[in-house]
Amino acid sequence: MQVTYIGHATTLIELDGKHILTDPHFGNWLFLLPRQQYPGIRFHNLPKIDLALVSHAHYDHLHKRTLRKLHKVNPQMALRCARGIARIIKSTHITDVKSMYEDETDTVAGLKITAVRSKHFGGRLFLAGGFILGYTGFIIEGKEGTVYFPGDAAYSETYFTEIGQRFKIDIALLPIGAYKPRIYLRGKHMNPDDAIKAFQDLHARYMVPIHWGTFKLGLEFLHTPTRWLRELSQQYGVEDKVK
C-alpha cells in the first residue's frame, strides 16, 4: 500500500496491485490561476489507472479534460463520484460511472468503496447547485489496508470521530490549505491545526497532507500550510506519522 501526492486533491493510491486517482487534475490552469508546481507524477508516467474518485464538482476537483485524457489511455477505468455528478462526466466518454450516496458501498477492481459524509458544499461554480450536485468523502478498503479520502472538508469532530469508529484507517489524506480568510473558509476548508485534530479523531495510523502548494486559492502563502503542519506534528509528537 502506497500513496503519492500529485498535487491539490490529486493522489495516486496503490492498493492490492490496483491504482486509484483521487480528484484527478493535471491541468496547468484553474481559471486565471496558474499551477504553482509540477505534478508529483507527470501524466505520461502514470501507471494503468483502475479507478478514479471524484468527491464533488468544483472545478479544482472535477477537471473534465484530465478525465478525458485518463479515459483515452485507460478505457477500462471506472469512476465513482458524489451524487448527481455522473451526468456531468458523460461528456468524458467514461462508461463505468456511478454516483454514490452517503453510506453507499460498491466494489470496484476488488476494492470496497464506501461514500462517507463530508462537511463542505456542492455545485460546480462554487456558488450554486449544492442540492443537486453532492459532495462526499471515500473509504477505500483492500486486503493491504484502508485509505480515507475526504475530498474538500471543513473540520467536524462529529464526522471524523464517527468515521474513525466505523473504519480502521491506515492512511488519512487530509486537506491543509486554502483556509484564509478564516471568516469565510472555516466552514469549507481545514487548516493544519484542524487536520491534526481530524487525524486524532480518526485514529488513523498515518496522515498524508493534501490540498496545498498547487493552486493559490487562499490568502495564506503557498507553503505556509506545510511549515505549520510540520511544527504542529512535532508539538503533538506525531512527526513520524505525518508523511
- Amino acid 125: pLDDT: 64
Q: Residue 131 has what pLDDT?
A: 52
Give the pLDDT confidence score for residue 46 in this predicted structure: 99
Beta-bridge partner residues of 139? 114, 148
Band the pLDDT of 128: cuts 50, 70, 90. very low
pLDDT at 106 over 80: yes
Q: Angle 51-56-59 (CA atoms, 0-180°, nearest 5)?
A: 100
Eight-class DSSP state of 242: B
Evaluate if residue 123 carries a pLDDT over 90: no
- Kindly state the average pLDDT of the residues 127-149: 84
Question: 27 CB contacts (<8 Å, ≥6 apart)?
Answer: 35, 63, 65, 66
The mean pLDDT value for 72-97 works out to 95
Does the pLDDT at position 236 exceed 50?
yes
Task: Provide the pLDDT for residue 134.
Answer: 82
Question: Model-level pTM greater than 0.85?
Answer: yes
The CATH number of 2-235, from 3.60.15.10, 3.90.550.10, 3.30.465.10, 1.10.150.240, is: 3.60.15.10
For 141-166, what is each residue's pLDDT tens digit? Answer: 999 999 999 999 999 999 999 999 99
pLDDT band at 168 (very low <50, low <70, confident <90, very high): very high
pLDDT band at 178 (very low <50, low <70, confident <90, very high): very high
Q: Tell me the pLDDT of the chain averaged across its residues.
A: 94
3-state secondary structure of 81: strand
Report the alpha-carbon distance of residue 131 to residue 195 in Å, rounded.
26
Residue 124 has phi, psi (to 5 degrees) of: -110, -40
Q: What is the pLDDT of residue 129?
A: 47
* CA 195 to each of CA 114, 123, 163, 170, 171: distance values in angstroms, whole numbers, following the listed order: 21, 24, 14, 16, 13
- Return d(Cα 65, Cα 188) in angstroms, integer: 25
Nearest Cα neighbor of 205 from 162, 231, 173, 158 is 173
**pLDDT tens digits, residue range 4-31?**
999 999 999 999 999 999 999 999 999 8
Q: Would you report the helix, strand and coil content of the chain in percent, each value rounded to 5?
A: 25, 25, 50
Question: What is the average per-residue pLDDT within 103-129?
Answer: 83
Q: In what order do the strands lie in the sheet with 78-82?
A: 2-7, 10-15, 18-22, 51-54, 78-82, 97-100
Bond into 181 cis (ω within 30): yes
Q: 170: pLDDT confidence band, cut at 50, 70 and 90?
A: very high
